[in-house]
Amino acid sequence: MEKFRAILNKIKPLGFSKKSKLLDIGCGTCISKEFFLCDFYGIEPSKNLVVQHPLGQEMINNKKVAIDIAENLGNYFSPKKFDFIICVTAAHHFKEPKKALRAIREKLKETGIVVFSLLKNTEKQTEYEVLKYFRIINKTRPTAQMKDTILVCSPLPT
């Protein structure tokens, strides 16, 4: 998966390691767990997708994966818990982007990094919302191999 490789290449120089706490927003089948070898967490509204991963049910039972939408992230995990948060081709699904993005910032360490991989033709609107809560430190435009726009961001102070 080109997107996960591209994100991994961006966060490695920013301190990503197997000890990092990483949250995947809209993690689907948790396929990213195979790429981001670390202390992995997720939130995903579709239980049917999560349980497709061999460890999916176990991660739900252990409260490593919450079955809910990003807008309700405030109900799970401690504030300022995560070193890295990724959101891969999922932000365009947010019904209440401000609520979701505010909750993402709240769960990120002050020194943390969030990476949004944005679906083609949705990137402008999402970037507009992202800028209210985050500073973009790196932006990669789509290529032939990778159609998403990738934003690497740090949190703005609250």
Ligand X SMILES: C[S@@+](CC[C@H](N)C(=O)[O-])C[C@H]1O[C@@H](n2cnc3c(N)ncnc32)[C@H](O)[C@@H]1O
Of the candidates 35, 47, 55, the one whose C-alpha atom is nearest the C-alpha of residue 117 is 35
Nearer to ligand X, 110 or 142 (CB): 142
Q: Is 90 in the site for ligand X (CB under 6 A)?
A: yes
d(CA 115, CA 97): 15
Number of residues that bind ligand X (CB under 6 A): 17
Nearest-approach distance from CB 26 to ligand X, in angstroms: 3
Residues in the chain, how many?
158
Binding flag, residue 46, ligand X (CB under 6 A): yes
List, in order, residues 6 or more apart from 148 with CB less than 8 Å away: 3, 88, 89, 117, 118, 119, 120, 123, 142
116 binds ligand X per the rule CB under 6 A: no
- Tell me which of 47, 80, 93, 109 binds ligand X, using CB under 6 A: 93
Q: Tell whether residue 70 is a contact of ligand X (CB under 6 A).
A: yes
Which span (11-19, 22-30, 122-130, 147-155) binds ligand X, by CB under 6 A?
Answer: 22-30
Q: Provide DSSP, 125-155.
A: HHHHHHTTTEEEEEEE---SS--SEEEEEEE
Stretch that binds ligand X, among 26-34, 58-66, 107-115, 122-130 (CB under 6 A): 26-34
Q: Where are the beta strands (DSSP E) in 60-133?
A: 65-66, 82-88, 108-118
Binding site for ligand X (CB under 6 A): 25-28, 31, 44-46, 49, 69-71, 88-90, 93-94
